[in-house]
Chain A
């Protein structure tokens, strides 16, 4: 649980253009992960 909470918290430190992430289900299309990788 800590790991998923931590990852969501980390995503929350970025202003993701598509959507904010509150749960792992928000990642089920991969879009927020595209977003965060594209701004690295």
Chain B
């Protein structure tokens, strides 16, 4: 995932039209943890450390890349996920991942992947996206975020026969 950070230059710079400059371009914002996945799978404390890192990056991404407040996001119990494989809190993290995915630079590809799913699964994911977006809207009444969830919702879904 590509992230660009901008910094506003002061008017003393002598370049009044040059209001922003890209300071950092990071193609590895969500870089994989250095530990081997097998190590993480065996030790819940290591899993917790990995989840903490993931959640920190997720909240940073909402603020830095999406200009959305992290304070309005649900905070999952990461220890319950790491130690007990708690499904409720795991899904809370999954909703945040999905919300980022549909607002990322690769959102069109994300939409294509979602459209591969059954109608039932597409609807379930739409509700997940809307849940996160509504929490952001309700806290800050932002009018320009989560536009893509509406885009997906307006697209015709395949006439699935899935049961």
Q: Which residues of A contact B125 (CB under 8 A)?
A: 3, 6-7, 10
Interface stretch of the complex, out of B15-23, B46-54, B146-154: B46-54
Which residues of B sit under 8 angstroms from A29, Cβ to Cβ? Answer: 37, 40-41, 46-47, 50-51, 82
Cα distance, A37 to B54, chains bound together (Å): 10
In this complex, how many residues of chain A approach chain B with their Cβ under 8 Å: the count is 27
Q: How large is the interface on B (under 10, 10 to 19, 20 to 34, 35 or more residues)?
A: 35 or more
CA distance A31 to B47 in the complex (A): 9
The reply to whether the CB of B139 lies closer than 8 angstroms to some CB of chain A is no
Contact with B along A1-28 (1 / 0, CB 8 A): 0111111011001100011000011011
Out of B1, B50, B121, B123, name the residue touching A37 (CB < 8 Å).
B1
- How far does the Cβ of B4 sit from chain A's closest Cβ, in whole Å? 14
**A9 close to B117 (CB less than 8 A):** yes
A: residues with CB less than 8 A from B are: 2-7, 9-10, 13-14, 18-19, 24-25, 27-31, 33-40
Query: Which B residues form the contact surface with A (CB < 8 A)?
Result: 1, 28-33, 37, 40-41, 44, 46-47, 50-51, 53-54, 81-82, 85, 87, 90-91, 93-94, 97-98, 100-101, 104-107, 109-110, 113-114, 116-118, 120-125, 127-128
